[in-house]
Amino acid sequence: MTNHKFIATPSRTKEILKKYHFSFKKSLGQNFLIDSNILNNIIRQAGIDKESGVIEIGPGIGALTEHLAIHSQKTLAFEIDQRLIPVLEDTLAPYDNVEVVHEDILKANVRDMIRTHFHPEQPVHLVANLPYYITTPILMKLLRDHLPIDSFTVMIQKEVAERMAAKPNTKSYGSLTLAVQYYTEAEVVMQVPKRAFMPQPNVDSSILRLVRRTKAPVNVVDEHFFFSLIQASFAQRRKTLRNNLTNYFKEKLTKEEVGLILQQIGIDGGRRGESLTMEEFALLANTFIASSKA
């Protein structure tokens, strides 16, 4: 691609925005990447090659999409903003392996789209610069739907990335950490400075890589109960596990009964939620279920 001018440069981005009289919508969290080195790094971290099928969310004017198209077998991009569809048709015209879908990822039938656009044996990866205001709902929906997506490499708010990849006994560790790590192995792989975007966001960004687990890391009798028990344990972070759980079970169990169950499995009720591992939460949830049936 001699003399090719990448979309992800300040001058080319300004040129495209001017051509289409495009104005940023704050409500959609639009911040476009203007640094091709960072985009190449994202592709490398995501492990994209010519075998890969890629899903992108929120392609904007196509900065990341272009790099995905160059390196992948096929890229399927979901864009919610109707105003960007003609822009993307123009900017991505050189690439015949990109399909842009004007749809809200939260409402799309992603499983069907994967079946339609990619080969059954093909590795599928999600790579996206996610809008900060809706990062968690998007990722949690895609994870809970158990889609055939091998990995998620996403640019998100630094603080949220730290929460998703946190370890026990840290300030960032909480119910979101456990939900994400139940489905995936999580790692923050790089930081992205504000100057890499137009307009510059107010928050720092990180690239989070999530690799889907082939089986859950713990055995739980009831997934829904397991997650609600975790949320209850973090309901008030400064309270002890015993107090948070007593509040959660107030219709069913007394404080003494909660204390006895904790004692039975060797978990000190004076601990706080952030000190418990996923294995301990699984043991806790399964024991409460067993005691309710006893």
Q: Cite the annotated binding site for S-adenosyl-L-methionine by residue number.
A: 31, 33, 58, 79, 104, 129
Is the previous residue joined to 199 through a cis bond, with omega within 30 degrees of 0? yes
CA distance 212 to 160: 18
Show the tokens assigned to 211.
Answer: 């690799």
Annotated binding site: 31, 33, 58, 79, 104, 129
**Which residue is it, tokens 């392609």?**
59
Task: Supply the DSSP symbol for 57.
Answer: E
How many other β-carbons are positioned within 10 Å of the β-carbon of residue 82? 8
Q: Give every strand in the sheet of 205-212, ordered side by side.
A: 98-101, 74-78, 53-57, 124-129, 151-157, 205-212, 184-192
Task: Supply the DSSP symbol for 246.
Answer: H
